Structure 1
Amino acid sequence: MVDPNTRSGEDDRATGTPAIRWEEPPEGPVVVLLDQTRLPAEEVELVCTDASVLVEAIRSLAVRGAPLLGIAGAYGVALAAARGFDAEDAATALAGARPTAVNLSVGVTRALEAHRASLGRDGDTRRAAQAALAAARRLHQEDAEASARMAGHGLALLDELLPGGGHRILTHCNTGSLVSGGEGTAFAVALAAHRAGRLRRLWVDETRPLLQGARLTAYEAARSGMAYTLLTDNAAGSLFAAGEVDAVLIGADRITADGSVANKIGSYPLAVLARYHHVPFVVVAPVTTIDLETPDGASIEVEQRPGYEVTEAVAPQAPVTGAGGGIPVAPLGTQAYNPAFDVTPPELVTAVVTEEGAVSPVTAGALAELCARSRRVTI
C-alpha cells in the first residue's frame, strides 16, 4: 500500500518535490502544490489556503494533468470543509474549473459524497471534513497504485507489439509524476521500458503553445536518466517518414463511451500520422478517465484557452512584457484559436491501457466491460 502523505507515495523520484500534498500547520490545513508554471527554471511550491485559491491554480495550470486534477479536486473539497466553508459551493467551483478533464469532477464527487454521507449520519461537521479528507487520500493512494499497474500493462503491450525491444517512443504533452499520484500514465510506461533496458529513445513533442513537453516531460526524462530528444510538434511528420518512431504513447483527459479520446491539442494529428505510417497509437489512462456518460467525441466540451497563450511566448525564466505575462510574438490585436484539447476517434487508437489491462480494438462494448470489471474489483 502507498501512503499518500509520504514523498514516496506522491513519487518524487522524477521531480524532487511532490506534485501535491496535504499539510496541517498550526494556522490550519492547506493543500501544497508544486507550481508547474515555474518549471523547469525553479521548483516553487504554491500553498492553497482555501478552495478558491486552488480553483485559480487549476485554471492557471499551476496544477494540471487529468489524474492529478482528480486528486486536487478531492483535496479541495476536504480543504473547504476543514476550513469551515461550504463544501457544496467549493465542489461546484472546483468541478467547473476545467471542463474537459473528467477526473476533476470524479475526484470532487468522491470527496463530496463522503462529506455528505458523514454529515447525514450525525451532523458533525468536523467528522464530515475528516471523511472528505479520507476520501481524497484514498483517491491519491489508488492513483499511485493504478500508475504502477498501467506501467506494467503498457510495457507488456509494447513488447507484444514491438518484439525485440529498442523501443523508440513518441509522446505528447506531459504524463509523468507531475500529473499523477504515482509515476504517471504514458510516461510511466516509457519509464518502465527505460528501466527494463528496452527504451532506445523517447521523442518528446514540445507541445505548443504552453510547452508542457519541453518544460515538463523533458524535465522528468532528464531527472530519470532517460535517452530523450525534444522536437517541435510540426517536426513529428518527418520523424515518422524517416521510420524513427516505433509507437506513440499519450495520456487522456476524457475517453468517451465509444472510445473517442480527448487529449492535449496536437494529439489527433499524431494519430493520423501514426495510422498512415502503420505505427501503434496507444492511449494510457486510469479507468477514472473513461466517461461512459459522454457518448462520443462530439459530446465533449473542449476547453478554449486565452488567445495570449498563442500570441505570446511564455518562459518561466524570461522577463514579462506582454499582457498575458509573456513575450509578444504576434502583432497587437491578433486573434488566436486556442483549444486546449482535440479529440481522436476510436478507429485511430490502437489500444487503451488502464490499470485493469489493455483494450484493443477500442470499442464501446470493450470499454463498458472494462469499467464493469473495475467496479467489481473495487467493490
Structure 2
Amino acid sequence: MITLSTNQVYPVIWKEDRVLLIDQNKLPTEYTFVEISRSDDMAQAIKTMIVRGAPAIGVAAAYGMYLGAREIETDNRDEFLTRLEQVAQMLRQTRPTAVNLFWAIAQMQKTASQTIGSVDYLKQVMLETAKKINAEDIQTCQAIGDAGLKVLPSKPDKLCLLTHCNAGALATAGYGTALGVVRSAWRAERLARVYADETRPRLQGARLTSWECVQEGIPVTVITDNMAAHCMKQGLIDAVVVGADRIAANGDTANKIGTYSLAIVAKAHNVPFFVAAPLSTIDFELDNGNKIPIEERHPSEIYQIGDTVICPTGVEFYNPAFDVTPAELISAIITEHGAVPPNQLKQFQSN
C-alpha cells in the first residue's frame, strides 16, 4: 500500500482499475492526468513521453504488463504466458535505452511464471507486484537522496548544485534520483540554489525540473545548456548531480544528451560530478558504455518548438536522445545502498 503525501508529485498512480499518468508533455502550463486502462495505451504513453524518466518508465511498464495480462481471456496457463510475452515485447520496443523498462518487464514476467494458481489469481499477484515496484521506487529514491547528502562537498556556506534534464519526482515514482539528492539537501538546509540546464531539445530542465522546484519552494535558476562552463568558471556551481537511464558494469553512464559534455566541463573546473540512480539502472550484463543502445528520436524535436519551426527547409538532422559519460569523469555513483566510485559498482551485483 502506497501512502501518498499531499505535497509531493507522483507521475504514476494506480487508482481503482486504471493508471493515472501526469501528462509531462503539457507541463509546466497544464498539470493534467491521462487515464490508462489498456496495455497498448501505456506503450504509446511511454513512447510519446507522456511518462518519462527511467524509473518512472519502469513503474509504468509494470502496470502496463498487468493491464496486458488483464486483457488476456484464457484459463490456459501456457497460452496466457505466451500472450503475455507479446505484451512484453510491445512494451520493450518503446524506449530502448532505459534499462529500468526491461528490468520491470522481467520482474512482472518472473511473477507470472513462478506464481502457482489459476490465471485469475496470477493476474491478481501481478497487480500486487506492480504496486510493490511502485512503492519500492519511492523508498529507493529517498534512500538515494540521503546517500547523496554524505558525499556532497562540505563548505561553510550552503551549496549550489547544477542538474541536467529532469531526474526528479516526475522521472521516478516520486521524490527523484538526482533531484532527490537536491531535495534532501534542501530539507537538510544545506542547499542555497539549484541551477537547471534547460536541456535541449525537449527542454525537460526548463519545463519539468524548474516546475518541481517551484512546487517545493526550492530556489532555482534556469540556464541554457551552453552556459554551464561559464557558470563553473564564475564559481557558481559546487557540484553537478545528474540521473541515469542505464549504467554499464564499469560505470559508464547513459543519460540525457548533453550529460557527457557537462561532465567534461565539470572535470575541467574541478567540480565534482555525481550520478544518482537506483541499482536497477545498472546493467551488469554490459561491460562498458559502448554497448548501450542509444535511442534516436524524430527530428521535429530539433527543428520545431511548439508550433514554431526554427530551421530552414532542406537541412538534415541528427537527434540522439542520450549520450554516454565515461566512468573516469564521474566522481561517484549514488545508489540506495550508498555512493561509490564507478569502478566499485560490482560490489552491488548480488543485490
Which of the five TM-score ranges fits, normalised by the shorter chain? over 0.9
Match of 2:121 in 1: 127
Q: Which of residues 138, 148, 151 is equivalent to 1:157? A: 151
Matches within 5 A, 1:82-161: 82-84=70-72, 86-118=83-115, 121-122=116-117, 124-158=118-152, 161=153
Contact 2:8–2:174 (8 Å) recurs in 1: no
Q: Name 1:323's counterpart in structure 2.
A: none
Instruction: Write the letter of the residue equivalent to 1:7.
Output: L
State how far apart, in whole Å, the 2-side matches of 1:342 and 1:293 are: 19
Matched, 1:74 2:62: yes
* Residues 239-318 of structure 1: pairs in structure 2 closer than 5 A: 239-314=231-306
TM-superposed CA distance for 1:371, in Å, is 2.7
Matches within 5 A, 1:146-185: 146-158=140-152, 161-185=153-177
Residue 332 (str. 1) matches residue 313 (str. 2) = yes
Unaligned stretches of 5+ in structure 1?
A: 315-325
| 1:355 equivalent in alignment to 2:336 | yes
Q: Is the 8 A contact 2:11 2:174 kept in 1?
A: no
1:368 to 2:346 alignment: yes
What corresponds to 1:321 in structure 2?
none
User: In 1, distance between residues paired with 2:7 and 2:176?
Assistant: 12
Per-residue CA shift, 1:315-341, capped at 9, x if unaligned?
A: xxxxxxxxxxx3211112432111000
Match of 2:19 in 1: 31
Shift of 1:163: 3.1
Q: Deviations over 1:112-137 (max 9, x none)?
A: 2111222xx33x22111111111111
Give me the whole-angstrom Cα distance separating, in 2, the residues matched to 1:13 and 1:350: 32
Q: Secondary structure at the match of 2:312?
A: coil
Residue in 1 aligned with 2:41?
53
- For the residue of structure 1 that corresponds to 2:316, the secondary structure is coil
Matched, 1:341 2:322: yes
Aligned length: 342
How far is 1:250 from its partner?
Answer: 0.1
* Alpha carbons of structure 1 residues 302 and 77: separation in structure 2 relative to 1, 3 Å: same
Q: Secondary structure at the match of 1:336?
A: coil
Q: Is the 8 A contact 1:172 1:205 kept in 2?
A: yes
Q: Alpha carbon RMSD of aligned pairs, Å?
A: 1.3
Contact 1:176–1:185, Cα closer than 8 Å, also in 2: yes
Contact 1:311–1:334 (CA<8 Å) still a contact in 2? no
Q: Which amino acid aligns with 1:244?
A: L
Q: So what's the TM-score if we normalise by structure 1? A: 0.88
> Matched residue of 2:14: which SS?
strand
3-state DSSP of counterpart to 1:7: coil
Runs of 4+ more than 3 Å apart: none
> Residues of 2 paired with 1:223 and 1:165: CA distance?
24
Gaps of 5+ in 2: 74-82
Alignment match, 2:76: none
How far does residue 369 in structure 1 lie from its aligned partner after superposition? 0.6
Q: Distance in 1 between matches of 2:120 and 2:262?
A: 49
Matched, 1:7 2:12: no
Cα distance in 2 for residues equivalent to 1:143 and 1:163: 31
Distance 1:162 1:279 in 2: 13
Shift in alpha-carbon separation, 1:208–1:14, aligned structure 2, 3 A: farther
1:41 to 11, 19, 29: 29
Q: Which amino acid aligns with 1:265?
A: I
Q: Give distance in 2, aligned partners of 1:53 and 1:93.
A: 11
**1:165–1:153 CA distance, 2 compared to 1 (3 A):** farther
Partners of 2:330 and 2:89 lie apart in 1 by: 33
For 2:33 and 2:71, locate their aligned partners in 1 and report how far apart those are by CA, in whole Å: 20
Displacement, 1:283?
0.3
The CA deviation string for residues 226-254 of structure 1, in whole angstroms up to 9 with x for no partner, is 11100000111110111111100000000
Q: Are the equivalent residues in 2 in contact too, given 1:78–1:87 (CA < 8 A)?
A: no
- Asked if the contact 1:74/1:109 (under 8 Å) is kept, the reply is no
- The answer to whether the Cα contact below 8 Å between 1:81 and 1:128 also exists between their aligned partners in 2 is no
2:52 to 64, 81, 93: 64
Q: Give me the identity figure in percent.
A: 40
Q: CA deviation at 1:14?
A: 4.1
